[in-house]
Structure 1
Amino acid sequence: MLSALRERTGDVLLPGDEFCFQPDDTLSLTGPAHPEKLVCGPGLRRSGDRLLVCKSGVLRHRQPNTFWMESQQRRYVPAKGETVIGIVTAKSGDVFKVDFGGSEQASLSYLAFEGATKRNRPNVQVGDLVFSQFLIANKDMEPELVCMDSSGRANGMGVFGGGGLLFTVSLGLVRRLLSPHSEVQSDLQQLFPCELVVGMNGRLWVKSSSVQQTLVISNLLQSCDTMTAQQRRQLFRGGTGGAVDHIRPHPTPEDKPGPAAVQEGGTGGAVDHIRPHPTPEDKPGPAAVQEGGTGGAVDHIRPQVHLHLVPEDGSRLCSGC
C-alpha cells in the first residue's frame, strides 16, 4: 500500500478510489520485522485492509508515511485540537456563543480563559474576534471552545482584532500557510511588515501599518489561492514593485462638497477654488446696475440715478409719471 501511495503522490484522486495491501506489505515470519505506521490525513479513511479516498483533490505526502488530500474546500468540519477564529454572536448566562463558520455555533465558557475566575471575568463583548481551540468536536455533541492550552496558559489565544481585516480563504491555502516551510509565508514576508492570524476554519486576520498595505496583503492572499508557485511569485513581485501603488477608499460624505458649493477648474484641471453661492446680502438690490470691468468681473456697482424734470409752470413732474 505504501509503495502505491508514493507512486500516486501528486495525482488527482476522486472519492471512491481505494488502495489495498500488496504482497510486499506483508511481514516476513523469518526475517526481522520492520512495521511501518501509516498516518492518514484529511480526505483519507482507513477501512479494514483498505484505504479509501473520501474527498477529491491532489494526494500529498510528507516523510515518513503521512498522506493527505489537498483540495480547495471551503466548508469547515471541526476537529479536536484545531485552532480557529470565531466571532462572538451572543452571551447566554456564563457561556458565549461563537460562530466559527460550521454547521452550528460553538460554546465558550467564561472560565475558559487564562486567569479567569467567578470574580475576575474576561471582558468579552458581542462581535469580538476570539482565537480559540476546540476541546470537544463530535458530530453528536455541541462543539466546545477554550482559549487556553492544557497547562492553563493562553499561548496566544483570546480576544483580538483591533483595527485589522478579517477575510476568508480556502482550507488548502490555510494548510499551506501553516506548513513548517511555507513558500507562501516566505513570499509574504518580503512585502510589508504585518500581523497575521491564521485559523484552521479558513479565516485570516491581517493588520499592517496602514489601511492601504492591509488591503494589498488581503487581496494578494485571496488571489494566490488557485495559482501556481511561479504565478504567485510574479504576483507578489508586482505588488512590491508598483503594481499596487495606492488604494484610495471611496469618498465619504464629509469629503464631498456640499450642494451650496461651485467647483471651478484651474489651470491644471483640478479644483482650484470653491466659491459659495452669493447670499441675499451679497446680491445687489433692484436699484443697482452691475457694470463689467476690464477683467470680466463685477468691478463697480453704481446706484440708479433718478431724473426730475421741472416744467415751466412750476409743478414738479417725475420722469416715471
Structure 2
Amino acid sequence: MTTPLILLPSDNVPSDHLPSNTSAPLRLGPGLRLLSEQQSSTPSPGHVINASRAGLLSTDPKRNAVSILSFPNHRYIPTTNDLVIAQVHHSSAEYFHCMVTPQTPHALLAQLAFEGATKKTRPVLKQGDLVYARVLSIGVSAGAEVELTCVNPATGKAEQGGLGPLTGGMVFDVSTGLAARLTRASSSKAEYEDGVAGLVVLDELGTKLEGIGGFEIAVGRNGKVWVDCSNAGDSAIRATVAIGRCLHAVDESNLSPAEQRKLVSRTLREMEV
C-alpha cells in the first residue's frame, strides 16, 4: 500500500502511485492532466501525468481512476465535466454569460444548450437566474473562456440530475471541499470512514422531511448548493433554512455519521419542522 501523496501544481504523479489495473483505460479525474501517453500496456516513464492543482492524490483501483482531492477551502477552478450552479449575468445573441465564481471570468452557456431548445422554445433567462450546468470545456490557452452546457453533446438530451434552469428554492454557499464530498456521497451511495465522503446528512434530512413532502437539491462543485422545499407547504421556509444550517454545521466541523444524525434531529426540532 502506497503512502498518501500530496501534490502541488506542475508536480508529476509517480508511476508507483498509479493503479496497476491494465485491463481498463486509466481514468483521470479533476486536478490531473495527461502530458504524454504510455507506449505499452504497463506503466512506464513515458506515461506522464501532471497535477494542475494542489491536493491529495486519490486512486480508485476498481475503476482504474486517479484524481486530486483538493483542500477543503481551496478556490474553485473550473474543470471539464464538473457540475456547477451558475448565475446568469447577462445575455448576448447566442449565449448566456454566467458567473461560476466571483474570481473567474464569465462562462458561456449557449442559448440552445438545453434539451429540446430551438430559437422559439429556448428558455428566457434574465440577470440573476440560476442554472444547473456541466462544464463542457475550459480551453487550453491563456484567457480561454469556459463553456457550459445543460445537455449531453452526444445525444442532445438533458442528463439525469436536473440540468437546466433552477426556479424557486434557495442557494447556500459551502466550501468546495464539502461540495466535492456531497457529490461523491450522492454518486456512490456509500458511507466512507476515511472522511472523504462519510456523509449521511442529506439522507437523514430526506428521511426526516419525507412526511412533509421532502426536498430537491442540486450540488455545484463551485461551492453552491440549491435547495427547494416547495412541496413542504407552510413548513417550506423553515425546512429550507434547517437544511442550510445543517450543511453549514457539517462544513465547519468534521462530524461523524452519528453526530450528523444528531445534528439533523436537533436542528429540525429547533426549527419546529
Q: TM-score, normalized by length of structure 2?
A: 0.70
Distance 1:119 1:21, change over 3 A: closer
1:13-24 matched pairs, under 5 angstroms: 13-15=6-8, 20-21=14-15
- CA deviation digits over 1:114-170, x for unaligned, max 9? 2222233322222111112223311432222222223112232211131x1112222
Quick one: which amino acid aligns to residue 263 of structure 2?
A: G
Partner of 2:176: 171
Which 10-residue stretch deviates more, 221-230 or 105-114? 221-230
Larger radius of gyration: 1
Partner of 1:221: 247
- Rounded to whole Å, the distance in 1 between the matches of 2:117 and 2:268 is 48
Partner of 2:94: 94
What displacement does 1:196 show? 0.8
Query: Runs in 1 of length 4+ with deviation above 3 angstroms?
Result: 16-22, 33-48, 50-59, 182-187, 226-229, 241-244
Gaps of 5+ in 2: 37-44, 192-197
Does residue 159 (structure 1) correspond to residue 165 (structure 2)? The answer is yes
1:1-321 matched pairs, under 5 angstroms: 6-9=1-4, 13-15=6-8, 20-21=14-15, 38-44=26-32, 49=45, 55-64=53-62, 65-70=64-69, 71-101=71-101, 103-140=104-141, 141-150=144-153, 151-155=155-159, 156-162=162-168, 164-179=169-184, 180-183=188-191, 186-191=200-205, 192=209, 193-208=214-229, 209=232, 210-230=236-256, 233-241=258-266, 245-246=270-271
What displacement does 1:227 show? 3.5
- Rounded to whole Å, the distance in 1 between the matches of 2:49 and 2:94 is 44
- Rounded to whole Å, the distance in 2 between the matches of 1:66 and 1:58 is 14
Q: Retained in 2: the 8 A contact 1:74–1:202?
A: no
Residue-pair matches, total: 230
Q: Retained in 1: the 8 A contact 2:246–2:263?
A: no
- CA deviation digits over 1:249-307, x for unaligned, max 9? xxxxxxxxxxxxxxxxxxxxxxxxxxxxxxxxxxxxxxxxxxxxxxxxxxxxxxxxxxx
Q: Greater share of strand residues, 1 or 2?
A: 1
Distance 1:236 1:58, change over 3 A: farther
Quick one: which amino acid aligns to residue 176 of structure 2?
A: L
Distance 1:94 1:227, change over 3 A: same
Q: Retained in 1: the 8 A contact 2:201–2:264?
A: no
Local SS of the residue matching 1:121: coil
- CA deviation digits over 1:39-85, x for unaligned, max 9? 44334556663656564444433223433332214422222232211
Q: Retained in 1: the 8 A contact 2:86–2:130?
A: yes
Quick one: which amino acid aligns to residue 262 of structure 2?
A: R
RMSD: 3.2
Local SS of the residue matching 1:238: helix
- Rounded to whole Å, the distance in 2 between the matches of 1:135 and 1:43 is 16
Distance 1:93 1:8, change over 3 A: same
Identify the structure with bigger relative contact order (alpha carbons < 8 Å, sequence gap 6+): 2
Q: Greater share of helix residues, 1 or 2?
A: 2
Q: Retained in 2: the 8 A contact 1:161–1:205?
A: no
- Rounded to whole Å, the distance in 2 between the matches of 1:54 and 1:137 is 13
- Rounded to whole Å, the distance in 2 between the matches of 1:115 and 1:106 is 22
Gaps of 5+ in 1: 1-5, 26-32, 248-321
Distance 1:88 1:46, change over 3 A: closer
Q: Retained in 2: the 8 A contact 1:39–1:67?
A: yes
- Rounded to whole Å, the distance in 2 between the matches of 1:234 and 1:79 is 32
- Rounded to whole Å, the distance in 2 between the matches of 1:43 and 1:131 is 22
Quick one: which amino acid aligns to residue 207 of structure 1?
A: D
Q: Retained in 1: the 8 A contact 2:201–2:260?
A: no
What displacement does 1:238 show? 3.1
What displacement does 1:38 show? 4.6
Partner of 1:276: none
